[in-house]
Amino acid sequence: MTIKSAAALDALNRVIARVQAINVAPGRAAPACTKATAATAGGALDHKLTPPGDITWSPEIPHGHTSYTWTGVHAAPRRPAAPSQAPASKPQGEAAASVSADERAQFEQLEFRVGRIVDVRKHPDADSLYVEQIDLGEPSPREIVSGLVKFITEDRLRNSLCVVFANLKPNKLRGIMSNGMVMCASNADRTVVELISPPEGAVPGDIVTIAGANVPPAPPAQVNPKKKGNAWETSAPLFKTNAERVATFAGAPLLVIGKGCCTSPSLPAATIS
């Protein structure tokens, strides 16, 4: 390498180093529901955001240079460790504590899974119903009947990811056995109905849960919708979307562990059923 080319490379490296040094930004508060939020959802959500100023850029300084002569930026002093104090309250989207023990036990009677609608057709005997084939990560797709004809086209449903109430007892709807329920958000007058969307990276069969809920090794018992006081009947009023369109149960986000939260495409403060 010639002296000139070495000098040019040195100059280029300096420019890059300065840009990196200037552009390293302090940590930003994460949205109410992120992959970090879901990462520890098997227990209480304990993920912590990096306080502003904790990110310190430490370049490799060549022999014969100081931090300033190499980057043009004085080395940032490390902040002294903060004195121990009581844990800060969690952001609203992470409010695992807002769910009481009774509500958590109630939720644990319900099983929700990510599904993919692999096929859909009109019900032969009901104009308002679709018959869907949904992959839930099981040996074969489940057949589920949904009243979505007025709201979502077949083309939009086909290949879409969705959230399925998976331990609902099979029930005949206009002569066809439905083996679950597709979860949807709807506005107050039910003129708009949307699929609840799983987070990016979710795959068929993923469990949808809430922070702190126990995920049992075996599916919970089937819920009989015709039985008075069943788990779905008592839990249904607690399922809503929040102001950020995140699907929640009693205020706690519905999430896939390690991947993020379930959402409605456009409906905040909506009912979910």
Distances (CA, A) of 258 to 89, 146, 206, 237, 239: 22, 29, 11, 27, 22
Does the model's pTM come out above 0.75?
Answer: no
CATH (one of 3.30.428.10, 3.40.50.11780, 2.40.50.140, 2.20.25.90) for 103-272: 2.40.50.140
Cα–Cα distance measured from residue 150 to residue 162, given in angstroms and rounded to the nearest whole number: 18
Under-50 pLDDT residues of the chain: 3, 6-7, 9-31, 43-57, 68, 73-80, 83, 86-97
CB 238 within 8 A of CB 103: yes
Q: Is 246 buried (19+), middle (13-18) or exposed (0-12) by CB count in 10 A? A: buried
The reported pLDDT for the residue numbered 193 is 98
Cα–Cα distance measured from residue 242 to residue 252, given in angstroms and rounded to the nearest whole number: 10
R_g over Cα of the chain: 25
Question: Alpha-carbon torsion 194, 196, 199, 203, what sign?
Answer: negative
The reported pLDDT for the residue numbered 218 is 87
